[in-house]
Chain A
Amino acid sequence: MSLLSVDNLTLQFQTDEGLVTAVDNVSFGVEAGEVLGLVGESGSGKSVTAKSIMKLNPENAVYGDESRIALTLPDGPVDVFSLKTSREMEIVRGGSVSMIFQEPMASFAPAITIGDQMVEQLVLHKKISKKEAKEWSIEMLARVGISDARRRFDQYAFQLSGGMRQRAMIAMALSTNPKLLIADEPTTALDVTIQAQVIDLMKDLVREYGMGIVFITHDLGVIAQTADKVAVMYLGKLVEYGAVRDVIRNPIHPYTQGLLKALPRLDDLDAPLIPVPGDIPSPLERPTGCVFHTRCPMAEPACAQQVPTRRNFGAGHSAACLVAGGGGV
């Protein structure tokens, strides 16, 4: 059993315009000690997918009947959707699963000290005294490379620099010793040099703690560095899934190919950047058939009618495309 397994996750939002599909029949898994990169443009449903693991989506979210998210923890398996009360939910929220958000400034409460927020979480999950929690928090802050951790403990988020805030966020997320860490674009809001530091830090921590990570980003370059496996999402659909080397060296889905072609290349500065044509359609106007067919260079008439299923193109490498890889229609 893998640490996290998401099966047939479908999620719709109840809005004034009717049901809007945000995630459509997505399945993937994460093993302990493994980093899964979840890639896609904004609006592709990657953040919503990650939040589903902790049931953090707004109350107007409707999950599909077939959807299942399961965690295999040392104490036994947990079915996330069967958790009802907030006490039960503590298992996934901050207990075995922690989450890091894109904007470290906005994810700390502005008028509560960083230390107070860390201690609050530790006391809630670890059943230790406040004093022990404080010592442990300071140790964690020091471990993620925050100098003068004892002083920082009593400071507020606005008193820290951007990189330091994200380190503190990581320290807080790891302090409860979670089995799974969800990182929602943890480096997007940071400077490039600090990005590298934070990514290095996260890699070290995975090795040290042996936990699984779901790493959400729109940056394939970051994924290539950090992830073991990658899942490419487009408009709520998982279009390609596989080991990071396979997907990047041998992309099957035209969307993945497009994303890779759009990346600037440092080794060949004259190589033209080829953007994926068109805009991502509004979720209110989801295309029929293959969701990507409106922008696909390889689209055939059948793509507008038939919904492609994921097909295997090698060990653990699959893609949902009717045309690519000689599938034919």
Chain B
Amino acid sequence: MTDTTANPSSGPELSGEEKARKEAYFTASQGQLIWARFKKNRSAMIAGTVLLLLILTGIFAPFLSPYDPTIAGADKDYRNGAPQIPMFCDHNGCSMRPFLHGVERKRNLKTLRFETTINIEERRYLQFFVQGWEYKYAAFSFDLPGEKNEVRFNGFSFTTHLFGIDDGGIHLFGTDGTGKDIFSRTLHAVYTSLAVGTIGVVISFVLALLIGGVAGYFGGWIDSVLQMITDAIRTVPAIPLFMALAAFVPDEWSSETRFFFISCILGLIGWPTLARRVRTHLLSERNQEYVLAAQLCGSSSGHIIRRHLLPSFTSYIIVDLVISFPYMVLSETALSFIGLGLKEPVNSLGVMLQSVSEADVLLNYKWEFIPVIFFVALVMAFVFVGDGLRDAADPYSSTKK
């Protein structure tokens, strides 16, 4: 016999546990079903873990960074410095507490260049939970052009950092030409990318819901006109259009305002694709028979939208949002790289890489590329999670084996 994989629970009567399991399956919400299927996708789960770690890294960037990522935290004695990896052992033996060797920087009198020498006799020990530069959470200051439009909330200040070193500096990923700590900058850049992406996605989502919702709900000529406009905007290459919009930003705007404005523009450009999806979902769901059934039961249209239409496609919309996230991040990076997006002192990968295209940096200071790894990991994680979610939301989509 081939089918003797004995299953004790499949007697004529289902056991209580079995029944509960089946009941749970049949009454599971869309979200629960998607999550159940998503959990089975190993690569998406790995990507999800990486993503979660990166998000935490981004949120706790100030705590994890030993130095202020702006010019205020620059280490003037260690410019263009190589990464320093803490060690446990050297020729003088081992220690329980990781340490770095001391560095000295002297001008070479022949070449007139600064040269860094490592003093292997001197040990600097790594310390944890040290006090350092001050950072704020929930601080809010928004300064729109105009005099009275300044909103300010001072938030909560902290000075504790995860690690630091006795004396001198610790630069895990080295430093750039002005002595800024690349490790700290990378963590803050992750935060910036996440923030830009979130704001952009939220704005494009609101616009998409509004415009796609109107088109899908009213249908008819309103739908046709909106579709035509949406399609026309979709044909314009986004980055050049974005450049044109970003060129309006006056140079005197503060970096926070600029940051907010750029995120808004990203949101403005991202909506057409999303709006199309919202409209398609709405149109197809609206004609489903369960909606008719609800109408026949006398439900009001508000009730139908809230209780039937929205739940039926929120999960799909969430998937769409996750998928559109990396494109926001990529666009921001490209724009900042050109010099039209974010600017110092805001840390973003595009800003950080601006200097990298110089041959000198390319050849001699390769550690300036380390942030790229984080960035690619972030985008990849989003793409994998988005794909996994899409497959989970629509098991009949594409990736059948």
Q: Is A288 an interface residue (CB 8 A)?
A: yes
B130-157 CB contacts (< 8 Å) to partner A: none
Chain B nearest CB, measured from A280 CB (Å): 13
* Cβ proximity bits B8-45 to A, threshold 8 Å, 1 near / 0 not: 00111000000000000000000000000000000000
Partner of A24, one of B2, B6, B12: B2
Chain B nearest CB, measured from A254 CB (Å): 13
Chain A nearest CB, measured from B15 CB (Å): 13
- Inter-chain CA distance A293–B10, complex, in Å, is 10
Q: Which of A12, A19, A281, A288 has the most CB of B within 10 A?
A: A288
- Inter-chain CA distance A18–B5, complex, in Å, is 11
Whether the Cβ atoms of A294 and B11 lie closer than 8 Å is: yes
- Inter-chain CA distance A301–B16, complex, in Å, is 20
Chain B nearest CB, measured from A8 CB (Å): 11
Chain A nearest CB, measured from B18 CB (Å): 9
Q: Is B398 an interface residue (CB 8 A)?
A: no
Partner of A12, one of B1, B2, B6, B10: B2
Which of chain A's residues has its CB closest to B9's CB? A285
Partner of B10, one of A25, A64, A294: A294
Which of chain B's residues has its CB closest to A293's CB? B12
Chain B nearest CB, measured from A312 CB (Å): 22
Partner of A285, one of B1, B2, B7: B7
Q: Is B3 an interface residue (CB 8 A)?
A: yes
B10 to chain A: which residues have CB within 8 Å? 281, 285, 287-288, 294
- Inter-chain CA distance A307–B2, complex, in Å, is 11
Q: Per DSSP, are chain B's interface residues mostly helix, strand or loop, or mixed?
A: loop
B12 to chain A: which residues have CB within 8 Å? 293-294, 299, 304
Whether the Cβ atoms of B4 and A288 lie closer than 8 Å is: yes
A304 to chain B: which residues have CB within 8 Å? 11-12
Chain A nearest CB, measured from B268 CB (Å): 40
Q: Is A286 an interface residue (CB 8 A)?
A: yes
Whether the Cβ atoms of B2 and A10 lie closer than 8 Å is: yes
Partner of B5, one of A64, A281, A286, A307: A286
- Inter-chain CA distance A304–B4, complex, in Å, is 12
* Cβ proximity bits A289-303 to B, threshold 8 Å, 1 near / 0 not: 001011000010000
Whether the Cβ atoms of A24 and B11 lie closer than 8 Å is: no
- Inter-chain CA distance A10–B4, complex, in Å, is 14
Number of A-B contacts (CB under 8 A): 32
B4 to chain A: which residues have CB within 8 Å? 288
B6 to chain A: which residues have CB within 8 Å? 288
Q: B interface, how many residues as a size bin?
A: 10 to 19
A281 to chain B: which residues have CB within 8 Å? 10
A294 to chain B: which residues have CB within 8 Å? 10-12
Whether the Cβ atoms of A286 and B3 lie closer than 8 Å is: yes
A291 to chain B: which residues have CB within 8 Å? 3
Whether the Cβ atoms of B3 and A21 lie closer than 8 Å is: yes
Whether the Cβ atoms of A24 and B7 lie closer than 8 Å is: no
Chain A nearest CB, measured from B2 CB (Å): 6
A299 to chain B: which residues have CB within 8 Å? 12
A24 to chain B: which residues have CB within 8 Å? 2-3
Chain A nearest CB, measured from B119 CB (Å): 58
A288 to chain B: which residues have CB within 8 Å? 3-4, 6-7, 10
A10 to chain B: which residues have CB within 8 Å? 2
Chain A nearest CB, measured from B370 CB (Å): 38
- Inter-chain CA distance A286–B2, complex, in Å, is 11
Q: Which of A64, A294, A299 has the most CB of B within 10 A?
A: A294
Which of chain A's residues has its CB closest to B1's CB? A307
A287 to chain B: which residues have CB within 8 Å? 7, 10
- Inter-chain CA distance A64–B1, complex, in Å, is 11
Chain B nearest CB, measured from A255 CB (Å): 15
- Inter-chain CA distance A180–B2, complex, in Å, is 29
Chain B nearest CB, measured from A78 CB (Å): 26
- Inter-chain CA distance A18–B1, complex, in Å, is 16
A293 to chain B: which residues have CB within 8 Å? 12
B5 to chain A: which residues have CB within 8 Å? 18, 286
- Inter-chain CA distance A293–B2, complex, in Å, is 18
Which of chain A's residues has its CB closest to B12's CB? A294
Which of chain B's residues has its CB closest to A21's CB? B3
* Cβ proximity bits A259-291 to B, threshold 8 Å, 1 near / 0 not: 000000000000000000000010001111001
Chain A nearest CB, measured from B13 CB (Å): 9
Chain B nearest CB, measured from A293 CB (Å): 7
Chain A nearest CB, measured from B7 CB (Å): 6
- Inter-chain CA distance A307–B4, complex, in Å, is 10
- Inter-chain CA distance A39–B167, complex, in Å, is 84
* Cβ proximity bits A17-29 to B, threshold 8 Å, 1 near / 0 not: 0110100110000
Q: Which of B1, B7, B12 has the most CB of A within 10 A?
A: B12
Which of chain B's residues has its CB closest to A296's CB? B12
A21 to chain B: which residues have CB within 8 Å? 2-3
B1 to chain A: which residues have CB within 8 Å? 307
* Cβ proximity bits A57-89 to B, threshold 8 Å, 1 near / 0 not: 000000010000000000000000000000000
- Inter-chain CA distance A19–B2, complex, in Å, is 10
Whether the Cβ atoms of B7 and A64 lie closer than 8 Å is: no
- Inter-chain CA distance A25–B7, complex, in Å, is 20
Whether the Cβ atoms of B2 and A64 lie closer than 8 Å is: yes
- Inter-chain CA distance A285–B7, complex, in Å, is 7
- Inter-chain CA distance A157–B4, complex, in Å, is 46
Chain B nearest CB, measured from A203 CB (Å): 37
Q: 10 tightest CB-CB pairs across the interface, nearest first?
A: A286-B3, A21-B3, A287-B10, A285-B10, A21-B2, A294-B12, A285-B7, A288-B6, A10-B2, A307-B1
A-B contacts, 30 of them at CB < 8 A, read: A10-B2, A18-B5, A19-B2, A21-B2, A21-B3, A24-B2, A24-B3, A25-B2, A64-B2, A281-B10, A285-B7, A285-B10, A286-B3, A286-B5, A286-B7, A287-B7, A287-B10, A288-B4, A288-B6, A288-B7, A288-B10, A291-B3, A293-B12, A294-B10, A294-B11, A294-B12, A299-B12, A304-B11, A304-B12, A307-B1
| New A-B pairs, 6, CB < 8 Å, besides A21-B2, A285-B7, A288-B7 | A24-B2, A285-B10, A287-B10, A288-B3, A291-B3, A299-B12
